[in-house]
Structures are given as C-alpha cells and as structure tokens.
Chain A
Amino acid sequence: MTDPDPPRPTPTVLDLFLVYGKIGLIGFGGINAWARRVLVEEKRWLTDQEYAETLGLGQVLPGPNALNAAIMVGDRFHGTAGAIAAPVAMFGGPLVLLAGLATFYDAYGQVPLVKGILAGIAAAAAGMVMGTAAKMTGKIRPPPSLLAVGLCSLVAAGIFRVPLPWVVLGLGPVGVACAWRVLRS
C-alpha cells in the first residue's frame, strides 16, 4: 500500500477551473461519481469522507447537487473566486458540447451505429456510478447504523422510486440522529 497520509495538495484557482472543466467533460452518467474520482483519487484535494459530506450538504440544499458541491469545494479552497471558477468550468464545457450534440443527434440519433455506441456507453456509465458508491462505502467504512441509512436511501430512491425530496427530507434526519449517537460515544 502507499504512504497512509502524505500531505494533501491545495489547488490554485486555475487548477479548480481546469479540473472542474475536465470533470464536466468526462462526466458520463452524472457528475458526482466523476468528481469523486478526480478530486479524491487523482488530485487528492479531498478525502472520501470530506467529499461525501460536501455532496450530502449539496443534496439537502435546493438546486443541482453537483453544482452546490462544486460551489462549496471552490469556496473551501479559494473563496468567491473558487466558488465561481469551479461551477462555471463544470457547466461551460458540457454546454458547448451539448449544443453541438443536439444538432448532430437530431440528424443522426437514429442511425444504428450511433444508437449502439450510446447504448454501450450508457450501460458502462451506469456500472461506473454503482461501482463508485460501493467504493466510497468501502473507504468511508460507516458504522452499522449509518450503513443502514445508506441502504434505505438506495432502496427508496433506486427501487421504489420515491421522489428525491422525500428521501432527503425523510432519511436525512434519521442519518443525523444516527451520527449524533455515533459521535457522542
């Protein structure tokens, strides 16, 4: 194994801009799994625990959770400048790409080869997102009560399709109560 805890690098504003731009452009299947991959594994700016906490707060607040998390990560390292650089980069690249794709897709979206490639990427991206959740759980190693809350969230949203606001507002307080018991002891 590698050195257990070498010092964590601190990004500049330009780093934040470039790295979030990259996250946006490779973010197949949603941003969050990729943001974790790049911020925690590749750049080591945050630990798994820190990233998950930031994302958790981003989910409770209204608005896209990946965007809220990007603002908080940017602010954490560089205040207002960081809080602007990270989300602008994360949205800017994909927005340009999407405008181009929309034109292309309207013309070629039904071509079998294009459909096949998109279906293959979609299947792989779905696995990537689930693999990320499994990996995070392994790294964070939650106590049993918090693990149970996580599994309930998965079942509620993923299988019973409970609308996300209800999952967040219903299970969030349970998670907080469990965390209180864990941290108090």
Chain B
Amino acid sequence: MTPTIFWQLVFGFGAISLVSVGGGIAVLPEMHRLVVEVHGWMSDADFARRFALAQAAPGPNVLVVGLFGWHVGGVLGMLTAVMAMTLPTSLMAFGFSRLRTRLAGRFWLRVFERGLVPVAVGLIAASGLILAQGAAISWIAVTLTVCSTLFVWRTDYSPLWILIGGAIVGALVL
C-alpha cells in the first residue's frame, strides 16, 4: 500500500464516518462515490459484490469498508479503512457516554432517552424489512422469512436454529 492510498483511506473514510448519522450503511452512496467514482479502486460490480458479502457474513455491516481497504492495500489497508471509519466517532461516543453517566437520572436525559427508543426499534424493523425485500427471491424465501419472524418473535429459542434451518432450506431448494 502506498502512502498516498493510506492517506486517501484515512481522510476518505474518516470524513464519511463523521456524517454517518443513523448508521454506517446510511452512507453507502458516499462510499460508492469515494471508492468507485473518485478513486476508481473497483468496478460497480465489485462494489456490489463486496457489499453483498458483508451483508451475508456475520458482524457489523460497516465492516464492508474493511473489504474496500483490503482491495486496495491488503491487510494494512483493511485495518486502515476500518480504523478511519470507526475511531473518530468512537471517541465521540465515548465522550457522550461519559456525559450520560454524569447526567444520569436527570429528567431531561430520561425524556431524551425514552423519546429515541421508538426510533431505534422502528429502524430495526425497517432494516429487517429492507433485508427481507432483498432476500425475497422466491415464495420459498418469503415463507422462510415469515417463519423466521414468528419463530424469533413468539419463542425464546436461539435464532441460530432458524438460520441453520434457512441454510438447509437454501441448500436444498433455493
């Protein structure tokens, strides 16, 4: 990895991270602009494939930046991109966490926290819906999604069982 690419990763993803309110994936279009349009590091298809892989793999979705970094700079590029994307906002989150501890129990903080809860839960539901649309390649896949929703909602068994079931159904009929 050349020093030029190193700094391009640091400043490119560092800048994107600072505007990523609502989650790392909200800035996917910005990442596309940086990686494909500005620097021409990879093609559109490569970009889409790497994003699909990061979605399919476990772990935070934002780790897709690690794959972009890997593509241009190997292991070092991967670490650089992930650090650039996460470190600045992590320091802010830590500072905020300290502030929250100091203000714990204040009426306004409680109002603020409780008021954001429905948005947090609503966005989890929305991301499930978006994933479901992407995964709905046939009626079998849709049935699988519906069964999985009910399984996780109505029982306390580990969701890993339904994922294993999904893998088996997928291997056999998808």
Contact = CB atoms under 8 A, between A and B. Distances in A.
Contacts, number: 403
A153 to B, nearest CB: 3
B114 A101 contact: no
A168 B124 contact: no
B59 A31 contact: yes
Contacts of B38: none
B60 A30 contact: yes
Interface size class of A (residues with CB under 8 A): 35 or more
A176 B121 contact: no
Contacts of A167: 22, 119, 123
B58 to A, nearest CB: 5
B22 A67 contact: no
A64 B24 contact: yes
Interface residues of B, number: 99
Interface in B49-92: 49-50, 53-63, 66-67, 70, 75, 78, 82, 85-86, 88-90, 92
A53 interface: yes
A133 to B, nearest CB: 4
A37 interface: yes
B117 A87 contact: no
B169 interface: yes
B9 interface: no
A126 B145 contact: yes
Nearest to B66: A95
Interface string B112-124: 1111111111111
B92 A62 contact: yes
A61 B50 contact: no
Contact of B116 (A56, A87, A182): A56
Interface in A32-79: 32-34, 37, 41, 49, 52-53, 55-68, 71-72, 75-76
Nearest to A134: B153
Question: Which of B122, B152, B169: most chain A Cβ within 10 A?
Answer: B122
Nearest to B112: A176
A138 B172 CA distance: 35
Given A99-B70, A99-B75, 10 more contacts: A31-B59, A52-B120, A72-B97, A98-B53, A120-B174, A125-B163, A130-B152, A149-B122, A167-B22, A175-B117
A-B pairs with lowest CB-CB distance, top 5: A120-B170, A94-B59, A63-B89, A127-B148, A153-B122
Interface of B: 17-26, 49-50, 53-63, 66-67, 70, 75, 78, 82, 85-86, 88-90, 92-94, 96-98, 100-101, 107, 110-132, 134-137, 141-142, 144-154, 156, 158-160, 162-163, 165-174
Interface of A: 24-34, 37, 41, 49, 52-53, 55-68, 71-72, 75-76, 80, 83, 87, 90-91, 93-95, 97-99, 101-102, 105, 109, 113, 115-138, 140, 142, 146-147, 149-154, 156-159, 161, 163-165, 167-169, 171-180, 182-183
